[in-house]
Amino acid sequence: MNRTVELLAQGQSCWMDDLTRQMIDSGDLARRVAEEGLRGITSNPAIFEKAVAEGANYDQDIARAAMAGRSPVGIYEELITTDVRNACDILRPVYEETAGVDGFVSLEVSPHLAHDTEASIEEARRLWTLVDRPNLFIKIPGTPAGVPAIEQLLFEGININITLLFSIARYEAVAEAYLRALERRLEAGRPIERIASVASFFLSRIDVLVDRLLGQRIVPDRPPPDPDPRALLGKIAIANAKLAYQTFSHIVASNRWMALAEKGARVQRMLWASTSTKNPDYPDLMYVEPLIGPMTINTMTRKTIAAFRDHGTVEATITHGVQSARRMMEDLERLGVSLDLVTAQLENDAVQKFIDPFDSLIKQFAAKGERAVAFGDVDDLRAEARRLRQLVIRMTTEAGSGHPTSCMSCADIVAALFFREMRWDPHDPAARNVDTFVLSKGHAAPILWAVLHEAGAIIEDPLSLRRIDSTLEGHPTPLNPWVRVATGSLGQGLAAANGLAAANRLDRIDARVFCLLGDGECSEGSVWEAAQFASLNGLANVTAIVDVNGLGQSEAAPYHHDTRVFARRFASFGWRTIEIDGHDMTAILAALRAAHDGGPTAIIARTIKGKGVSFLEGADGWHGKPLDREQMSRALEELGDAPPPPPLEAHRVGQVASPQRVTASRSAPAYRLGDKVATREAFGRALERLGGEEHAMVALDGDVKNSTGTEAFAARYPERFFEGFIAEQNMLGVALGLAAAGKIPCAATFACFLTRAYDFIRMAQYSRPAHLVLCGSHAGVSIGEDGPSQMGLEDLAMFRALIESTVLYPADAVSAERLTATAARTNGIVYIRTTRPKTPVIYSNAEEFPIGGAKVLRSSLQDRLTVVAAGITVHEALAASEMLDARGISIRVIDAYSVKPIDVVTLSAAARDTEGLIVVEDHAIDGGLGDAVSTAVGSTAPVHRLGIARLPRSVTKDELLDRYGISRRSIEAKVLQLAA
């Protein structure tokens, strides 16, 4: 049997303390009454304020009342009395079945009136009349000013729930007021049978304050005093309640009460309030199980009710331990803690604890009302949000997979963006002079497909979600033309938004970029790299919207619904921050409008995962889980009908001026054979020259521009250079955003640091950028004394693994310049690997280096073996060739500057012409050039590899090349070994 129902057999009723409209509308309140033995419910300003702040159930009524000219206080009264009236109707059968003992709903007068007798009486009368239900309780605090108001209202026949009782003395006063009111009614010839009252005794707050005072009397490492304060921790509230119940028992046993009872008077029952445990170290039912007994009520939170139903013990306990309770009170006084002073302080504090949320609530009504008047009718947007939720559910159910609840939390935001805020053309996905949307929380792709379908931007059947013949993939990719960059690996969207905004500024397009993130993905450090970049670069047109729905995949998100955490973080990077209810349509629109006033701006939206469907809202276990057919039907029915949206008109932000091409001829490198020049320096010269030839060229660097070679470009074209500082993930994301906007970005840093950003690089391939050049300098052990942390021995393997990537590794200044220019004009992701040490120029300035080619530097009919090298090892191979010539052994030397695609023809010819190939590379022996060559030649000839096979150390370049077997001497030794 349900434990809350079992309480009735002990004479105790279970009430609930959090009346909200959502409980009423969803049927949850009715279900609890019918199935779980719920006998009453209360509301107060704190509960109502939370419901209004965290949901949109009241928004339409607030808007209607505000536009009708109602004041914020008038709106409050209208909404709260409507909820209470509806709850009274739901509980009316309980009231009738129990002959007026149970089935009550409590409504509080303004907490500002706690010390004003006459005003309390006047407001209680008005609220009683407005609700007009016999099973209503008006809540009046048991303050000195409240006691005469309680007596007068009870005399007038108004049921009273006396709240904020902490002391037995105050309880005795309100009990006396009840008796006097009944006696006065009898004297006046009025009936007393239906007069009802409860005395609400507060519990957990007593222990919170007493425990703090007892803690001051506990001295570590010293013997405890007598009595021991530790023995009283967490015990005083229950002791106080048990003694209060003794007073209650004496009253109902008195002749005075008996005389009233004979005339039909009802007992003023004791109600235990504030029964949820505040201290997590205490048992969750410590204010429930010890206080079960006749003529009592326990008002619990949902969480406490759930705990009691799960593991509560039902037995009569209210009269147990009374003598022990008296001793505890005596010990408390002996320790110098006055319970009278404690309860007086708690009474004052409790009044203020209700004043604060009441004032906040009235401010919310004022703000929501002002927004409603400012933005007019938003019913069309609310209807569209419902349609989006319905479509998302249908799409994911049809697909049998997806993330419907993650979409439902942001449906209001997406509806407001696409149907009211954004300037865009639903018929032109390639338009630049429009606002742009980036869905960083890519698992919510169905909401993007849904809104594009609703807006008429796509004609593809949304129910084709996740099918092989559909562009509506599980996470957004540019396979669908409305997607600028692929997302889904969380934490990447804001960096790409930065790149799009930077491109807009370069092209003088006054468009906004909106990026929707999830709260869970804000655990990614890349989000805060992007926040820093946007602020440092003054990207005022970037608006980040964080969907704080409080739930991750496996458990609650780190900060639940605490939007302040995210606001403080963004603000610390210099962003404007706006915290809103993400389901309040006018609040969303107001925040989006406020974002026009300069930024970057972060809108932190508190939302509910699964919003709109009662069994999904805020529920665990639904992440990435579609509804089945039966659940879908229930959800769609609950969401209700919504009219289709009106046709969406195209809006643009002006014309786009295409940059004029420079007609200057492309200059050739200018080096002399034998000059020693680092390839990183030649890369920088080529980049600077490209900046003058191609206005779409932009460069990014990770605070090493004086080492990578980008410094010259930065100095000459500062408006097209972006300093990424030591935040390589954001640097790559910005580069991708720039590429998506038609720029030719080249991002450079040390090869080893690109490893940190590899997830961004991996995702970039799915964005299919027209041009994205990445340069990793200071690669390999040849950097010397800086040591292994700086060597970048994995980069070739990383970039070779990308589908359709190009990987280039120049050996000298001429090839570095030529390949840099070629890279800028090559489609897709191109990686250039450059070297730290200076190396001799070995090519003439007129030499060409086509993608997929290789250079045969030494060749004869007498070649015994072929050495294939790239970058710095080309020079080691040439030197080894000369050393071997002196021994009468001829080898072929190939510069495989195009690592991917590799020159299969040249390598295969060498494999046929010589006895085998030796690949020498300044890279980890796995995954780099050796693997590329082996794949190219197959079984035509044996391939021997010289690469870094052991963890390297710090020492000079030449010593490292020798130590790890890739120097000229190592090559010579390997050739001699094989030739023998």
In angstroms, the CA 575 to CA 595 distance is 11
DSSP 667: P
Choice among 728, 817, 876, 921 that is catalytic? 728
In angstroms, the CA 689 to CA 682 distance is 11
Cα–Cα nearest to 809, from 747, 872, 900, 871: 871
In angstroms, the CA 51 to CA 38 distance is 20
Q: HEC states along 725-771? A: CCCHHHHHHHHHHHHHCCCEEEEEEEHHHHHHHHHHHHHHHHHCCCE
- Contact indicator for 806, 823 with CB cutoff of 8 Å: yes
Respond yes or no: is residue 728 known to be catalytic. Answer: yes
> Which residue is listed with tokens 């052994």?
889
Which segments within 599-714 are labelled E, that is strand?
601-606, 676-677, 697-701
Cα–Cα nearest to 494, from 606, 432, 570: 570
- Contact indicator for 135, 96 with CB cutoff of 8 Å: no
- Let me know if 554 is exposed, middle or buried by CB neighbors in 10 A (0-12, 13-18, 19+): exposed
In angstroms, the CA 910 to CA 940 distance is 10
What is the identity of the amino acid at 300?
A: M
Q: HEC states along 491-549? A: CCHHHHHHHHHHHHHHCCCCCCEEEEEECHHHHCHHHHHHHHHHHHCCCCCEEEEEEEC
In angstroms, the CA 290 to CA 238 distance is 7
- Characterize 828-865 residue by residue with b for buried, 16 or more Cβ atoms within 10 angstroms of its Cβ, and e for exposed: bbbbbbbbbbebbbbbebeeebebebbbebbbeeebeb
- Contact indicator for 393, 632 with CB cutoff of 8 Å: yes
Cα–Cα nearest to 143, from 352, 358, 339, 362: 352
- Contact indicator for 580, 602 with CB cutoff of 8 Å: no
The interaxial angle of helices 59-67 and 379-399, nearest 10 deg, is 160
- The CA distances from residue 500 to 155, 511, 555, 728, 732, in Å, are 71, 10, 33, 17, 13
In angstroms, the CA 775 to CA 792 distance is 12
- Contact indicator for 711, 684 with CB cutoff of 8 Å: yes
Q: Which residues contact 828 (CB under 8 A, 6 or more apart)?
A: 765, 768, 769, 770, 771, 772, 804, 805, 806
In angstroms, the CA 74 to CA 850 distance is 77
The structure tokens listed for 817 are 């310049």
For the annotated catalytic residues, the residue numbers are 728
